[in-house]
Amino acid sequence: MRRSAGRFVPGGEATPAFWLLLAVIVVLNLFGLVMILSASSVVALQETGSTWSYFVRQSAWAVLGTGGLMACLYLDRRVWRATAKLAYGAAVALLVAVLIPGVGVSVNGASRWIALGPVQLQPSELAKLALLLLVADLLARRAREMGDPKRTFWPAVSALALVAALVMAQPNLGTTLVMAAIVLVLLYVAGTSVGRLGAVSLVATAAAGAVVLTTPFRRARFFAFLNPWADPSRSGYQNLQALVALGSGGLFGVGLGASRAKWDYLPFAQTDFIFAIVGEELGLVGAVLVVALFVVLGVLGVRVAMAAADRYSMLVAVGITAWLMVQAFLNIGMVIGLLPITGVPLPFISFGGSSLLVTMSGAGLLLNIARHPRPRTGPDLARRSAARRATTPA
């Protein structure tokens, strides 16, 4: 888009960062579809009689996600700001609804979904993006008041606390950690003092620790992460099977589609633990390439934020980049045994419709910001203008 009489119109500058970012997003999505087809083939055959069922469902969500990406790519960023409070309110309402018996769908003891006919929606995924846009708008509007915590810090933390409490009630600690990381990074980049952020982080860490230690299944998961061999057939089973799958892949893997872990050895192979299947089938080389794609995505996200046209766009770009990087770190760290099992999907790659739709929409916002960078000025702009004049026919 370009600015015309103070409004955005279709167009914009297709910068190298834009094209590189788009290429990484496309590659991650296509790679995710291939790995879901492989990782889910056995469970899909058992559940539906077809090895293609999970792949077909994820492909449908990928089409919807592409629509969300395109809508956010061409949407006037003033619309994001105008609808941020509405989106946050809707997300809170859905998070409340998911806890109502008969409305929320419970799976494996967690009530995280709302059934809409054959489709299940996960409100906590929507809440990530809504919270990000709300806090970014708040901190952008009150840029000159960053020294007053009552006007900036506490409203942002309160917005986080409300959705975090509702998400923890599901329960869903992993998503709560991602949300907290988004808000804390936004506050830091916006200019909040490190001391204040440190104090709140310590309190939040203590609260999270108390929740883990007082909840039997979370406590079992945490201690299983520390020593999975203490109970290899129960609490440590997933941790060990993931490591076995990764170790079986060697340098180049056992071959695409040839995983043994997906044959009922590794639960949730197509969702939370898909990175283990990547390591098994494509080996260390494949796993490192996936990590490299996320590193490139993070670097490009930072570049987009640094070149953003305004403070609000910069904060949104920072928030989206932090969201994707933290979530990828939590998922991969969980699979390789560096972190406890948190149940967060690997962005773009894990099976999950709501996650893919919202992640793609967030990627669309990031691409929007990359397409409309801050106008260049000074000698650089003069050189570009001279180059255009030199190549324009007389």
Quote the pTM value.
0.89
First to last CA, the chain: 28
| Confidence at 3, pLDDT banded by 50, 70, 90 | very low
* The token pair that represents 98 in the structure block: 């998911």
Q: Does residue 41 have a pLDDT over 90?
A: yes
Share of the chain above pLDDT 70, in %: 91
Q: Does residue 181 have a pLDDT over 50?
A: yes
Q: Are 190 and 152 in contact (CB under 8 A)?
A: yes
- Residue 121's pLDDT is 87
Q: Is 119 exposed, middle or buried (0-12, 13-18, 19+ CB in 10 A)?
A: middle
Higher pLDDT, 119 or 353: 353
* Residue count (the chain): 394
DSSP conformation letters of 137-184: HHHHHTGGGTT-TTTTHHHHHHHHHHHHHHHHTS--HHHHHHHHHHHH
Higher pLDDT, 201 or 109: 201
- Residue 378's pLDDT is 54
Half-sphere exposure of 320 (CA within 13 A, CB side): 29
The residue type found at 214 is: T
- The domain segmentation of the chain, as residue ranges, is 13-83+125-373
262-303 tens-digit pLDDT? 998 999 899 999 999 999 999 999 999 999 999 999 999 999
Q: Does residue 187 have a pLDDT over 90?
A: yes
Nearest Cα residue to 69 out of 113, 13, 129:
129
- Residue 394's pLDDT is 44
DSSP conformation letters of 352-364: -HHHHHHHHHHHH
What is the pLDDT of the chain when averaged over all its residues? 88
- Residue 13's pLDDT is 67
68-124 tens-digit pLDDT? 999 999 988 889 899 999 999 999 999 999 988 878 777 766 678 887 777 788 999
Q: Which residues pair with 93 in a beta bridge?
A: none
Strand 110-116 and strand 119-121: the pairing is antiparallel
Q: Are 112 and 122 in contact (CB under 8 A)?
A: yes
